[in-house]
Amino acid sequence: MAIDATQPYDDENIFAKILRDEIPNKTVYEDEHALAFHDINPQAPHHILVIPKGRYVSWDDFSANGSDGEIAGFVRAVGHVAREAGMVEPGYRLLANIGKDGHQEVPHLHVHIFAGKPLGPMLMRG
Ligand code: AMP
C-alpha cells in the first residue's frame, strides 16, 4: 500500500530494520551515509536500492531536512554503486517514488537503480 510522504518516520519500517541488522539483506555497498542492497523483487536484471542511513521518510523529507553532508554523501553513494556495477555504459535508470501518487510503499527514502537491459519509455502511458 502506498504511504503518505508527510507521515512521521516509523522506526519499525522494513528498511529501518535492515539498517539495524534485524532482517537480512544482500548488501552491495555501505558507507557512513548510505546502504545499497538488492531489491527482493527485482523489476529489471539489475535492481538495487540505495537508502540513506538517517531517518528520512522520503525524498521530500531528505531534501528539506537532510544535512549537506548527508545529501552529498547519499548522492555520491548512488553514483558510486552504479559505476562500480558497470552500469554507466550501457546506462541505467534512477527512480524515487514519493507518497501516494508516486506509489511509495516503504516509508524510508530509497532510490531504485535499474539496469541490465533497454528499459523502455520512462512511464507507462494511460
Ligand atoms: P517503493 O514502491 O518505491 O516503496 O519500493 C519498495 C521496494 O522495496 C520494492 O521494490 C520492494 O520489492 C522492495 N523491498 C521490500 N522489502 C524488501 C526487503 N526486505 N529487501 C529488499 N527489498 C525490499
For domain 14-115, give the fold.
HIT family, subunit A (3.30.428)
- What is the residue extent of each domain of the chain? 14-115
Give me ligand 1 centre to Cα 9, in Å. 17
- Cβ proximity of 58 and 80 under 8 Å: no
Task: Examine the pLDDT at 126 and tell me if it is beyond 70.
Answer: no
Q: What is the DSSP letter of 99?
A: T
Measured between alpha carbons, how far is 120 from 91 in angstroms, rounded to an integer? 12
Q: Tell the residue number behind the cell numbers 528520512, with chain if given.
A: 56
CA-nearest residue for atom 15, ligand 1, is: 40
The kind and range of the H/E element at 36 are: strand 34-38
pTM equals 0.97
pLDDT at 116: 98
pLDDT at 122: 87
Please list, residue by residue across 67-77, b when 16 or more beta carbons sit within 10 angstroms of its beta carbon and e when fewer do.
eeebbebbeeb
Average pLDDT, the chain: 97
Catalytic residues: 110
- Cβ proximity of 20 and 123 under 8 Å: no
Task: Examine the pLDDT at 124 and tell me if it is beyond 80.
Answer: no
Task: Examine the pLDDT at 108 and tell me if it is beyond 90.
Answer: yes
Task: Examine the pLDDT at 125 and tell me if it is beyond 90.
Answer: no
Q: What is the pLDDT of residues 23-77, one digit of tens each?
A: 999 999 999 999 999 999 999 999 999 999 999 999 999 999 999 999 999 999 9
pLDDT at 72: 98
Measured between alpha carbons, how far is 31 from 92 in angstroms, rounded to an integer? 22
Atom of ligand 1 nearest to the CA of 97: 3
The alpha carbon torsion through 60, 23, 25, 101 (nearest 10 deg) reads -30
